[in-house]
Amino acid sequence: MALKSDNPTNAKINQNFIIRVLENPKHNPVKNTKLTSANKLSDYLKDEELKIKLFKTILYGEKDKYVFKIRNRLRIEICSK
């Protein structure tokens, strides 16, 4: 059974978006794809300010899909459900 999130922002993002993370997208883009939650995105992003900036972009933006590329080592795709 899933526990309720104590962070309402993470809960709203998980409810409305799918987060897909690709590590080292240039080498093997298909095998490194992982689905993740808003809370677990902190494991990939060491900078908490960057995570907050990404979340503000998707929550207040009007697009259905966002792609963020971080230092040629990480690609984050966020799609609305």
pLDDT at 32: 72
What is residue 81's three-state secondary structure?
A: coil
pLDDT at 8: 86
Ranking 12-16, 27-31, 65-69 by mean pLDDT, the lowest is: 27-31
Neighbour-count burial for 26-64, b at 16+ CB within 10 Å, e otherwise = eeeeeeeeeebebeebeebbeeeeebeebbeebeeeeee
Q: Which two tokens stand for residue 75?
A: 């690609």
Angstrom distances, CA of residue 44 to CA of 25, 36, 41, 62, 63: 14, 10, 5, 25, 23
* pLDDT band at residue 64 using 50, 70 and 90 as cut-offs: very high
What is the residue whose two structure tokens read 């808003």? 38
- Give me the amino acid identity at 9: T
